[in-house]
Each structure stands twice: as C-alpha cells, then as structure tokens.
Amino acid sequence: MKITIHGSGYVGLVTGACLADVGHDVMCVDVDQVKVARLKRGEVPIYEPGLEDLIRHNMEDERLTFSDSPEEGVAHGLLQFIAVGTPPDEDGSADLTHVLGVARTIGQHMDGYRVIINKSTVPVGTADKVHQAVADTLEGRQAEAEVDFDVCSNPEFLKEGAAIEDFSRGARIVIGTDSDKVRKLMRECYAPYSRQRDKLMFMDVRSAELTKYAANAMLATKISFINEIANLAEHLGADVEQVRHGIGSDPRIGYHFIYPGCGYGGSCFPKDVKALARTASEVGAPARMLQAVETVNDAQKTRLFDKLELALHGNLKGRTIALWGLAFKPNTDDMREAPSRVLMEQLWQAGARIQAYDPEASAECHRIYGERSDLCLSKQRDAALEGADALVICTEWKAFRTVDFDKIARTLNHPLVIDGRNLFSPEDVEAAGLEYYAMGRGASLQHPRV
C-alpha cells in the first residue's frame, strides 16, 4: 500500500519505518526542511534502539522516503497518517494546532479518496474536528468534482526504548471507525502484524480516542500509587521492594508499572493525564483520581532533593553533586518532564554544582540548558563522581546496575548515595561504608513537606 506519514517525530518515524519494513511504500513528510535533509542522509534526530538501522535499511530498499512537500505527501498515499505533536496548552488541554493544520493541508491537496488516520494522541472528538477541517477546506477550494474521504482513529501504544518491538509485537491495534471500507483498508495495512492472531480491535471513533488516554492514565496511576506506598513504607519501616513482590504476584495486579521511583516523565504520561483531566472537567465530570495522580507525581519528583538536603543537613551551597541519568527512562535521550530536570533546577537554585552522566541524553541536556558553569556533562559514568559530595541516581540504565561500591565510597567527598530507582540492595551499599537512601526501603529520611 502507498502510505503517507505526516510528521517525522518519534511516533511518525517509528510508524513509517515499521510499515515500510513489512513491504508498504511509505513517505514521511515534515515541514522542517533541515530535519528532512538529515533524514535523507540517514541521520535520525532521536535515539531509539534499532530505529536508525531500520530506517537506513528501508531507505536503501526504496520502501521509505522523506519529503518536505505536503503536496507530494498527499499525492503519494491512499492512507494519510497524522502523527504530529499535541503539546499541552496552559490549561492542560491538548493543543490541536498541528493536527488540524495537517488536516487542512490534506484537504487542500487531495484529488481523490483518502483515509485520514489520527495517529497522534488527541482528545475525544478530534476526529470530528479533523473531518470538519478537511470538509471546510475542500469547500473553500470549490473543486470541480466531489472528493470523498474518511477519518479514523488509530492511537499508538509505544514505549520509548521499546517502540519497534511494541509496534511489531504489540498486544492490540485499535481502530476507531464506522466504515466497512476503512476496516478493509486498515486490515490490509496491518495484515503483516496480525498473522498469528487478529490483533485489530475495531470500535467507534470516540471510544478509540478515549482508549488511548485511558490506557496511559491507568499506567500513570499505577506508578503514582506505588510511589505513595513507597513513601508510606519509609514512615512505617517497611521495605517497598518486598511489598512490590507481595502485590505483584497477584495476577489481578501484576508487576508492570509498580516499580517505585522518583516520578514518571516523558512526552506521554504527564501530558495525557493533564489532557484527560481537562476533558473531564469540560464535560462536568471532574476526574479526581487523575488530579491526585498528577499531584503525587509532581511531589515525587522533589523527593530526591528533599533527601539530599536532609542528608547534607541543608548545606547544599557550593556542593558538587554527581548525577547518574538524565533521560526520563532508559533507552532514550528524551528529557521531557524528566525527574532529573526538577532535581537539577532545585540544586542550582540552592547554589550547588552538578556533574552528570547519561549514556544517551547528554546532548539533549546541553541543548536544553546550554553552557553553564554549574553543569559538567561527563563522558564516563565514574568520571562524574570525581570531587563530588554525593551521588544521585535518576534513571535506571543497565550501566548503573553493577558498580563497585568501595570505589564509589573512595571517590566521593561524602559517602552518600541517593537512589531514585531502587537499583541496589541497601545492605550491599552500606557494607561499603556508604550512606544509602532509596525510595521506600533502607534507611529513611523524612522531610517536613512529606
């Protein structure tokens, strides 16, 4: 099939590369000419394991092309995927400027039947707005012949760091449509991914749109819940890791997304929880649980600073803090809403200096914060420890899981480790003479704000 993907960000690139890899003729369109030029050279602007090789392979086999011409993109594909950003407005609602802009562009250039597919994460009712935007544009063109089209919803369920696996072997493919014609075309599109079993789940458009938000909100809720239990464990002298195993063994609960930490981040959970809560408020059905999920997460991101401040007796001015992990999660360079950013900005405000290491996100950190005298981006994990007064772990990269605790104790000026991801056994760390504070286990530090 001939397929066009509007948007070459995270979702657009993964979707385009994966669909091309199963034999479709895919064109990714982006108005950013510099980005398109880089992609044509095989330079992928984001880090996602396996994506660069997948893109290069399919470009070489001429199944995947890139263009900065929307007109060319609309002419290319029978299926027109919209995969552009929906950043949050100041009130938390999703900004549909880019989505509706693409819809108008498709309406402006289409000369025959097209299926317009919302891949972007959008509020319930967006498909209606996209349909209206296309219809209004077609009417404004005063085309000589009537041009037909359909709009459907096809939300993505990709985890950064495992996106190719999720796209290729995901549990379900949700399609929102009432059209038999669209059902047939979407079955053809995704047939290579449904050979072992039928993964396609057809439902009405609004239910598909809500399914995406509900899924992310549920996962975010699990994270905030286990973080609240971890905080409670510190007060009660319990070990949240033992609690996690105790509840995770219940198949009704499961182990996924019940790892305590320093809060969730990224491009999806924070934005989607806010947007769904805003939608609920607008229709007069306030989502009190979602509001609590967001409140808990915002507070959790300050826990690392609170623990550090208490362990160092409030004396952070002039201190140097080693920071392992900048990305919001491992296997990505994405720092959007990352707990590391909250911690760094709190430390700078307190007059501290940071020596940070991340396997992939250092360039992104430099892009965000630029050159600063109070920020050193180390090229090696252990180099970040040199001359530091404490170590704080923000991201659970595999490179941080096996370390020499005796070396850390010898290198740090102050033998202090704050582990925001519960990577280590408290007994092992403390045996090396280190003070060790994790999230809901080991030694406990209570802050007045907790």
Angle (CA) 366 367 369, round 5°: 60
Place of tokens 């981040």: 265
Q: Closest by alpha carbon to 274, among 257, 297, 290?
A: 290
Side-chain-side CA neighbours of 359 within 13 Å: the count stands at: 13
Active-site residue, from 18, 28, 262, 268: 268
What values do phi and psi take at 270, rounded to 5? -60, -45
Q: Closest by alpha carbon to 303, among 162, 422, 193, 131?
A: 422
C-alpha distances in Å from residue 21, one per residue of 18, 62, 193, 356, 371:
5, 10, 11, 37, 40
Q: Is 152 noted as a catalytic residue in this protein?
A: no
Q: Closest by alpha carbon to 21, among 50, 65, 47, 57?
A: 57
What values do phi and psi take at 2, rounded to 5? -90, 120
| Spatial strand order in the sheet of 416-419 | 375-377, 353-357, 320-324, 390-393, 416-419, 435-437
Report the distance separating Cα 359 and Cα 375, nearest Å: 16
Whether the Cβ atoms of residue 108 and residue 134 lie closer than 8 Å to each other = no
Place of tokens 């369109």: 29
The rounded Cα 89 to chain-centroid distance in angstroms is 18
Burial label for 44, CB within 10 Å (0-12, 13-18, 19+), is: middle
Place of tokens 């086999």: 61
Report the distance separating Cα 17 and Cα 51, nearest Å: 8
Q: At what angle do helices 205-236 and 126-141 cross, to 10 degrees?
A: 140
DSSP three-state, residue 25: strand
Angle (CA) 323 309 299, round 5°: 80
Q: Give the active site residues.
A: 268
